[in-house]
Structure 1
Amino acid sequence: MDRMIKVIYSVKVPQMNAWVDIPLFCGPVISMDRDDDVINVEAQGKEVLAKGAGWNTFTRKKNTNKVNVIKDILKDLAGENKFDFPELSNKLPSDYSLGRESIPWDSAKSLTSGLSRQLFYDGRGYCRMRSLPGTPVFTFKSGDGGTVLTAPKLSYDSSELKNVIQVKGGIPKGSKTAVNVYVAAPSTHPLSPQKLGRNGVPRRLLETIEDDTIRTKAEATEKAGTTLNDRLLQEVSVSFDAMPIPFLEPGDLCRIQTEEYATTFRLRQFSVSLVAGENMSVGTIKKLAIRKGAIGYKPKK
């Protein structure tokens, strides 16, 4: 139970006459049971290791680089030492402190959200920070030469729909009023306030973000726009089976294109089998079994 599991998806590429290794997962064992020669193991991403109480107090001074603060939270309070972070110039507008009861992962994600970035662990086990892809990184297509293997199931849920984002920031230096920005879905969007309105009265579904570390209108507008795009995409859920695409990561923007329709969606969950020849499930999580002795197996050249 004090070990981690790493999963690597290997593909033989004839044109290269070589194997290409794609890291899929790295994380700690959460539960395990054994029945004779059958072992069931559940592992979760490394972020679970940073979800305990920070315990030690943590303080950084005003004007400290925010990316370095996020890295230090996970390093000092959770013991992480593998990072893939960009270089950003954003700084703390005031002193920043965490108490003993603080959760390192939650604190790090909160600061990252203020930078309009995504914080997650990739298949290598590295803590990674990136901008959420704004254009599709892969298109699933049906038909000959396509990757879609089953008829897609689409669902829309408007119960948590937001089509207007308000960002309340801090007070810029030399100003007396705080930053306050509204961004709404364009009127041409099917989920815009205008399209959802009645009798000429727009239906504004508002989400308000309060972040006093945002001190410029441009930063607030970027934050509102990024959040709005993500909220609109969250209302579309797509599930289907496809040929394995092992390089995709949670949060990637994907597109599915069939003869009947085409839509764009954010990749939230998927399953990749550990057995060659099995399908990949997109939009759903399936329990996957492997044959005895399959772990660690790679065919000889």
Structure 2
Amino acid sequence: MLSLGLSRAQYREYRRTLTRSHTMKVTCHLLTPEHRLVRTIRHSLSAGQIDVTTPRLDGDSVEISRTASLRFFDPVQSLSLDDSTPVDNAFYLNRMVRVIYSVQCSFGWVDVPVFTGPIVSVDRDGDEVAVECQGKEVWALGSAVRNAILKGDRDDVTRRILFRAGESSRYMQIPPGGGKAQATIGPQTKLWLKAWKAQAAAGRVLFYDGRGIVKAKRKPSKTALVLRGGDSGLLWSEPRVSYRVDSSIINYCKVVGRKPSKGKKTRPSAEVVAPRGHTLSPWKLGRNGEPLYLTGDGRAFIENPDLKTNAACRRLAERTIQDSLLQHVEVTCETFPIPDLEPWDILHVATRGVSVRFRVDEFTLPLVQRGDGESMSIGARKPTKRFTYASERRMRKPRRRR
């Protein structure tokens, strides 16, 4: 979950507020690429949503984790769209948009930055202006021009790659460590992909959060939030749960570390098996008393020269199995909006008929609430609902009777 800087008591109150009727507001800021505030967008937001997904590597490309779809009501056409506008407040493609989702609690407003990224599309349709934005990694998806060979600690190499993409150290959270790394930069190198792979080799994921900060971290292993139904829960309806078993699943893992130095005879190693009680454990999948070990077409056998002890090998094996088992549990549910949710967070659905942990791979956060409210979709993305103003409905031509 995104850190909000709240005390424990304030955080509990914030969570309770999300489960009941409350006041919320959305603020949109226009920024320069360096995060300097240009102005607050005061036009009415008629529709909008934030789509978040866990980036997946597909060949030589990786997905962008956040996308914002916004519709502003602008009947007098005062929302500047021309890049030749003489004042420094035009709404065009070398600008970023920051979206802040605010919840009113008993102790005051809690502001949650849910998106920060550049504008990629602007389109006017009558009285409405549709704005599409993508995460800041879009600036690092172009090819590099200058050649370079970067060597050093993995965190330093990652930072230097991101520096070349124009990022500032102020907006980086790259933890130290991860062993030595080398990155070769050429004319066709996509900088974001190179940085993403550098951190993936250390078992970390790389993404931009809602504040526009690039973060490298291990996938969470602890439950971030429990989803329950009823008057005091976040669930809107019963979740849909399914288990997917294919050739990539792992319920057994063996990790081997660094080759022994002089005087040592064995390499550090560890073998870990999924818990007996898990639905996809070897004993649950086996038959006639023989357990079924799944190795994911060789993915279960890992050799990592950065690991020096048996304990380090065991930790990596446990993380690998846990991540594989969570990936094969698919949960789709509708909840009250949870603005501080982040990709890869682990949620626990606990209802009368279901009790299961799963990792969040995608969700949609609605930005406009009307009527009985808009639910947040977890496990699947949903399209934005367009709101029609009364003045626009009156302008529609009546249908011709046959």
TM bucket (normalised to shorter chain) is 0.7 to 0.9
- Equivalent residues of 1:109, 1:119 under 8 A apart: yes
Post-superposition Cα deviations, 1:207-244, rounded to whole Å, max 9, x if no partner, equal 14656552424433322221211110011111121111
What letter is aligned with 2:320? T
Distance 1:58 1:171 in 2: 30
The residue that corresponds to 2:114 in the other structure is 24
* SS of the residue 1:271 aligns to: strand
Distance 1:203 1:55 in 2: 50
Post-superposition Cα deviations, 1:89-144, rounded to whole Å, max 9, x if no partner, equal 4431xx61313133322332233233333321110000012232211111111012
What letter is aligned with 2:283? Q
The residue that corresponds to 2:374 in the other structure is 278
- The verdict on how the C-alpha distance between 1:49 and 1:260 changes in structure 2, with shifts beyond 3 A counting, is same
* SS of the residue 2:132 aligns to: strand
Q: Number of paired residues?
A: 285
Post-superposition Cα deviations, 1:19-45, rounded to whole Å, max 9, x if no partner, equal 221000112233443322233333222
2:233 to 146, 160, 178: 146
What letter is aligned with 1:286? K
1:69 to 114, 139, 157: 157
- Equivalent residues of 2:253, 2:321 under 8 A apart: yes
The residue that corresponds to 2:135 in the other structure is 45
1:112 to 190, 195, 199: 199
Post-superposition Cα deviations, 1:144-170, rounded to whole Å, max 9, x if no partner, equal 211111221112211242222344555
The residue that corresponds to 2:325 in the other structure is 232
Distance 2:343 2:269 in 1: 31
1:97 aligns with 2:186: no
- Equivalent residues of 2:120, 2:132 under 8 A apart: yes
Which range is displaced more, 25-34 or 253-262? 25-34
Post-superposition Cα deviations, 1:161-202, rounded to whole Å, max 9, x if no partner, equal 222234455535446876665432133322122321233333
Distance 1:132 1:2 in 2: 33
What letter is aligned with 1:2? N
Post-superposition Cα deviations, 1:50-81, rounded to whole Å, max 9, x if no partner, equal 233334334344xx3322221222122x2211
The residue that corresponds to 1:79 in the other structure is 166
- Unpaired stretches in structure 1, ≥5 consecutive residues: 294-301
Which range is displaced more, 268-277 or 39-48? 39-48
1:251-262 equivalences under 5 Å are 251-262=344-355
Distance 2:136 2:364 in 1: 18
Distance 1:65 1:220 in 2: 20
The residue that corresponds to 1:5 in the other structure is 97
The residue that corresponds to 2:22 in the other structure is none
Distance 1:225 1:55 in 2: 41
Distance 2:115 2:274 in 1: 36
The residue that corresponds to 2:144 in the other structure is 54
* SS of the residue 1:137 aligns to: strand
Distance 1:57 1:166 in 2: 38
What letter is aligned with 2:253? I
TM-aligned CA deviation for residue 283 of structure 1 = 1.2
The residue that corresponds to 1:297 in the other structure is none
- The verdict on how the C-alpha distance between 1:97 and 1:247 changes in structure 2, with shifts beyond 3 A counting, is closer
What letter is aligned with 2:95? R
Post-superposition Cα deviations, 1:239-269, rounded to whole Å, max 9, x if no partner, equal 1211111111111111111111211111111
- Equivalent residues of 1:274, 1:288 under 8 A apart: no
Which structure is larger by alpha-carbon Rg, 1 or 2?
2
The residue that corresponds to 1:195 in the other structure is 284
- The verdict on how the C-alpha distance between 1:209 and 1:31 changes in structure 2, with shifts beyond 3 A counting, is farther
- Equivalent residues of 1:114, 1:213 under 8 A apart: no
Give RMSD over aligned pairs.
2.6
Q: TM-score, normalised by structure 1?
A: 0.83
What letter is aligned with 2:101? Y
Which range is displaced more, 280-289 or 177-186? 177-186
The residue that corresponds to 1:296 in the other structure is none
Aligned-pair identity in percent equals: 36
Distance 1:172 1:27 in 2: 47
- The verdict on how the C-alpha distance between 1:134 and 1:73 changes in structure 2, with shifts beyond 3 A counting, is same
